[in-house]
Amino acid sequence: MASSAPLSAARRYSRRAGRRPGRADGSAATPGGGPGVRRSASSRAGPGGGRARAQGKAERARCRKQTPYPAPTSRSAEAAPRRPLLKFSRKRTARASSGTCVPPDVTSATRRPRAACASAQPRSVALATLERPRRCELCGAAARLRCGRCRLTHYCDADHQKADWVSIHEKICQLLVPVRTSLPFLIPEEERKHGVEQLVKRQKYIIDLTYSTAQKFLWDGKHEKAMPAALHALRFSTEVYGSSSVQLVPAYLLLAEACIGVGHHLQASKYLSQAQWIVLRTPDCSTAVQHRLHRSLGLLCAAEGNFEQALYHLANDIYLASSTFGLKSIETSGGCFHMANVFFRQNKMDIADSLYAEVTDIWHAFLTKSVQTQEQIHKSRAEKSPFTEDKEISEDNMTEAQQAEAIQVLNAVLDIREQAPKQQPGETARVLHALAMLYYLVMDLSKAYEMGTKAFDLLKQLPQQESLEAIGRLLKLINSKPFYTK
């Protein structure tokens, strides 16, 4: 009994200390162990097993004492700001042989220095990266300036801001405010649908305005001013109809013609390729769009000097336009005019003269009808009384783009007629008469009177004076205007 009490006390002490009774180095007291003592695997292995077990315990203790950050050694170290923590948990789910920890759900590619980790950036930097970058309205570069009126459009420099303002932004500055302002989130469904409908209507109005403005600039020969307006037309058309809709083709064609005018043929070919791809993947594409595409392709080929390919596309343009609008329509006259220019550059003057004459006849007939319609409107307003019924007279006013096209085409034909080595007074007088009617319709009465008098003087020299009466009537109309001064 006396020998069992010290043995039980030694066992209790060894359990509290985390080791078995033995020597100070942790090895067993005897190689075989005393009676009643359970031997471990290391003790059964021999005298060296206790030393290996002690080394393993020391290694495990050292690993448990390791921390991700070194403990502060002084008050100054405790007061220093802590490094930002990563988003993953610091629970040690795996431990390597060296004692380092691998965070969960993080691959080896993410184990890099904390300074390179995106989540370790300050909050302000992280939020700044999530914000939408401001881009220039024209070139798409990083913006540094903003419009002071609408505060919605951004530009990379003052030159692009001025170019956009001169082209189209002056007209649509205040129109962009309701278009680019988002709708409130907590509103009824009916109000939301009504707001979406109004937004689409405003966007379509901006599309029509930008398209007509860009087209007018093109006919005036101001190709650089046409590019910002055409870019806005393409941007809003994409927002309304989608990126692959056939409604984008007119905007692409405007951009292509503007690039051709400034000599950027490579960029023009890219726009035309995009338009051609949309037309080819749209089986029910209208012939009105197709004839405009062939005209732009013909203009690009003519600018590059490929006259045969230009004539091929312009022939398709005339065929499609005549089948849609008629052979004597002003839409068809555009293809005839560009084809005549190609033959003129090839020194095929007979074909060019016949095409120029056809263009002049089409515009002369259209303008004569417009002047007659305006005369009927003036007579009906002068004879109107409260007891007579109003007679409806269709008033087809020319658009600004059509006016610019007519002025550009007829003046070009007039220059060719006046500079030709073989003069044709009859054809020249017909062009002058058409220009006089055109300027009368646009209320440029001084130019109308000048062109009319030139045509009247030329026709007096001819044996056939069929158009003298019509020109004389036009001159009387011009003189009858109360605000006209010679």
Nearest Cα neighbor of 169 from 198, 140, 143, 146 is 146
pTM over 0.75: no
The pLDDT of residue 91 is above 60: no
The residue type found at 433 is H
| pLDDT on residue 238 | 95
The residue type found at 184 is P
Structural element, H or E, at residue 155: strand 154-155
Mean model confidence pLDDT for the chain:
77
Stretch 176-180: mean pLDDT, rounded?
90
- Binning pLDDT at 50, 70 and 90, where does residue 396 land? low
The pLDDT of residue 241 is above 50: yes
Ranges 190-194, 207-211, 306-310, 339-343: which has the least confidence: 190-194
Pairing relationship of beta strands 154-155 and 145-146 according to DSSP bridges: antiparallel
Is 482 buried (19+), middle (13-18) or exposed (0-12) by CB count in 10 A? exposed
Ranges 23-37, 116-130, 167-181, 295-309: which has the least confidence: 116-130
Stretch 109-127: mean pLDDT, rounded?
35
Question: Distance between terminal CA atoms of the chain?
Answer: 146
> Which letter does DSSP use for residue 28 in this model?
B
The residue type found at 398 is M
Q: Which residues of 292-301 are buried (b: 16+ CB within 10 A; e: fewer)?
A: bbbbbbbbbb
> Which letter does DSSP use for residue 145 in this model?
E
Q: Do residues 26 and 33 make contact, with C-beta atoms less than 8 angstroms apart?
A: no
Which among 95-104, 362-371, 388-397 has the top mean pLDDT? 362-371
Nearest Cα neighbor of 87 from 124, 126, 131, 132 is 126
The pLDDT of residue 374 is above 60: yes
Mind listing the pLDDT tens digit for each residue in 247-287?
999 999 999 999 999 999 999 999 999 999 999 999 889 99
Q: What share of the chain is helix, strand, coil (3-state, %, to 5)?
A: 65, 0, 35
Is 186 buried (19+), middle (13-18) or exposed (0-12) by CB count in 10 A? exposed
Q: Which residues of 324-335 are buried (b: 16+ CB within 10 A; e: fewer)?
A: bbeeeebbbbbb
- Binning pLDDT at 50, 70 and 90, where does residue 107 land? very low
Q: For 328, left (φ over 0), alpha (ψ -120 to 50), or beta?
A: alpha
Report CA 272 to chain centroid distance, whole Å. Answer: 15
| pLDDT on residue 224 | 94
| pLDDT on residue 112 | 38
| pLDDT on residue 132 | 59
| Three-class SS state of 101 | strand
CA 87 – CA 344 distance, rounded (Å)? 73
